[in-house]
Amino acid sequence: MSARLVRHPTAIAGVEVIARTPLADARGVFERLYCAMDLAALGGGRPIVQINRSLTRARGTVRGLHYQRPPHAETKFVTCLRGAVWDLALDLRAGSPTFLQWHAERLEAERPTTLVIPEGCAHGFQTLTEDCELLYLHTAPHVPEAEGGVRVDDPRLAIPWPLPLGERSARDRALALLDDEFRGIAS
């Protein structure tokens, strides 16, 4: 592991915060966002196969909580390029000791960090500022038939979102609440 990318594990296995060390001089900043040599193990040895960007205009907007079912499960590396978000990983792995527990990080453009969301965890975020731009690196391509989701306001999770829930997509609002029968997703 290089000194430019430092891994910090969380209480949820596989969910990690990557602290990046930018190089700065009078010209500006150069920053390494990902290095396969240092971080490939976090993606289960799978390469990055898709890179996505999102731009969310309004403060308080919530996106998520989304995941892909096996065999299309993915690890995501999420970085904030503009603004600030409260970024969350929810453990949905069947049999995990941290099943239905979550970890959230404040990601912001001025704070060089990346949140790693492993396979079997759902991902979502709430914008803390206007005009938030995120960059996502994925270890699997998006497959619409493999999409899954969990409602952000599910009382079983009791997630204390930092702001009142703002805009959400019709799809996210229509997600079902977790029932007592939900035992997680297989890996």
Q: Which of 34, 66, 67, 103 is catalytic?
A: 66
Token reading at 145: 């038939």
Token reading at 44: 């289960």
Q: Which of 8, 67, 136, 138 is catalytic?
A: 136
Residue 39: phi, psi to the nearest 5?
-120, -5
Q: Is 136 noted as a catalytic residue in this protein?
A: yes
Longest Cα separation, the chain: 58
Three-state secondary structure string covering 163-177: CCCCCCCHHHHCCCC
Q: Is 34 noted as a catalytic residue in this protein?
A: no
Alpha-carbon torsion (121, 124, 128, 130), positive or negative:
positive
Cβ atoms 134, 125 nearer than 8 A:
yes
- Plot region of 95 (φ>0 → left; ψ -120 to 50 → alpha; else → beta): left
Give Cα separations from 104 to 22, 36, 45, 107, 148 (angstroms). 23, 24, 24, 9, 20
Catalytic positions, written as ranges: 66, 136
